[in-house]
């Protein structure tokens, strides 16, 4: 029996009896680091007018229908406030406890996590740069790729296009290994590298 199965059997009381549903796979996982030694906070829901309660119920139902929140069994949670004050992922309302299954932009590090997801590939000085390496930005070489074949040239223009546009992917160097940089020496110019 695998270690995972043993752990699940040992802590069976923390797992849902029914499968509520699975969230979609994401490229970036967001983690909230908890400070050790601090007890969870539990505050009673705020009083609301009948109009506010009706709006609250409608918004909670919409979030449930969209799959953005799910029922929660947490013994703590923040009272629900409208708009900018929803900063915690556990909601406590008259209609029960709920928790977000998607990242809120009100969380402190949410913007950084979002930008990390968006910046997996970035353009810089005519090159596309990612964790997989660097290559010439296709927009910069589109004029060469779309080059019309002259009628009086005997050379294979497609081969020339490929030679000019299919530059090898340059990968990042391994910082743990020693390496030497060789650069051209020039008396009338300035050389640099990034």
Edge-to-edge strand order for the sheet containing 69-71?
69-71, 96-100, 90-93, 78-79
Q: What percent of the chain has pLDDT over 90?
A: 0
**DSSP letters spanning 39-92:** PPPB-PPPP--HHHHHHHHHHHHHHHHHTSEEE---S-BEEP-SGGG--SSEEE
The average pLDDT across 139-150 equals 76
Report in angstroms the alpha-carbon separations of 158 from 135, 136, 141, 164, 174: 20, 18, 14, 10, 35
Architecture of domain 3-100: Roll (3.10)
The average pLDDT across 122-150 equals 78
Domain limits, the chain: 3-100, 123-194
Q: Is the pLDDT of residue 188 over 70?
A: no
State residue 134's pLDDT score: 81
Condensed to tens digits (0 to 9), the pLDDT of residues 26-66 reads 666 655 666 778 776 667 777 888 888 888 888 888 878 87
State residue 76's pLDDT score: 58
> If pLDDT is split at 50, 70 and 90, which confidence band does 82 have?
very low
State residue 89's pLDDT score: 60
Give the Cα separation of 168 and 134 in Å (integer).
Answer: 9
State residue 87's pLDDT score: 40
Condensed to tens digits (0 to 9), the pLDDT of residues 157-181 reads 777 777 777 766 667 777 788 877 7
The average pLDDT across 139-144 equals 80
Q: Is the pLDDT of residue 80 over 80?
A: no
* Choice between 118 and 144, residue whose per-residue pLDDT is larger: 144
Q: Is the pLDDT of residue 121 over 50?
A: yes
């Amino acid at each position: 029996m695998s270690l995972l199965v043993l752990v699940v059997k040992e802590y069976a009381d923390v797992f849902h009896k029914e499968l509520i549903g699975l969230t979609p796979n994401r490229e970036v996982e967001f983690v909230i680091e908890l400070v050790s030694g601090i007890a969870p906070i539990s505050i009673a829901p705020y009083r609301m007018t009948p109009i506010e309660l009706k709006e609250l119920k409608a918004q909670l139902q919409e979030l449930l229908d969209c799959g953005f929140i799910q029922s929660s069994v947490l013994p703590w949670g923040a009272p629900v406030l409208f708009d900018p004050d929803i900063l915690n992922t556990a909601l406590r309302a008259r209609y029960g406890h709920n928790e977000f299954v998607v990242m809120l932009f009100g969380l402190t590090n949410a913007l950084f996590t979002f930008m990390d997801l968006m910046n997996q590939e970035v353009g810089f000085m005519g090159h596309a740069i990612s964790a997989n390496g660097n290559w010439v930005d296709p927009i910069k070489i589109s004029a060469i790729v779309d080059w019309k074949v002259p009628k009086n040239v005997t050379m294979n223009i497609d081969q020339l296009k490929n030679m000019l546009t299919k530059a090898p992917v340059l990968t990042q160097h391994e910082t743990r290994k020693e390496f030497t940089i060789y650069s051209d020496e020039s008396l009338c110019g300035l050389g640099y590298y990034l």
